[in-house]
Amino acid sequence: MRAVLHRLLARYGQTVTLEREAPEEVRAFLQPLSGRDETVPDQAVSLGMLDGRRWMYLGAAEVAVGEVLRWGELSLRVRSVRRHAVGGAVLFWWAALEQEGT
């Protein structure tokens, strides 16, 4: 199952830089999170409102609260993290991100 995820990330994921002591490039899926609060002046889509300040990370590389991910011009700070396991092995990491400087 992990091999399938790695193939999907390699083919369709974005290249993201994890800002650490030694910056690390990883492949991940980054998407804006939809919000239920329609007072956010951003973009309406069929799923609700997209708040450009909040993003989702899905990847094989472990991230931690407080770390910064860079994707192009975006700088995103990790707000919360969950690991998802199958059996005893971590399959992927999910994180809620917030755009820095907003």
Answer yes or no: is 69 within a domain.
yes
State the sign of the Cα–Cα–Cα–Cα dihedral 62, 66, 67, 71: positive
Amino acid at 54: R
Answer yes or no: is 13 within a domain.
yes
Higher pLDDT, 18 or 88: 18
The reported pTM is: 0.78
Separation CA 54–CA 35 (nearest Å):
9
* Enclosing domain of residue 93: 2-35+53-99
User: How many domains does the structure of the chain reveal?
Assistant: 1
Flag whether pLDDT at 44 surpasses 90: no
- pLDDT tens for 48-72 read 555 568 899 999 999 999 999 999 9
Answer yes or no: is 44 within a domain.
no
Answer yes or no: is 48 within a domain.
no
Answer yes or no: is 76 within a domain.
yes
Strand partners, 58: 29, 94
Residue 40 is predicted with a pLDDT of 47
Residue 101 is predicted with a pLDDT of 74
- pLDDT tens for 13-41 read 999 999 999 999 999 999 988 765 544 44
Query: CATH number of the domain that 68 lies in?
Result: 2.40.10
Answer yes or no: is 65 within a domain.
yes
Flag whether pLDDT at 2 surpasses 90: no
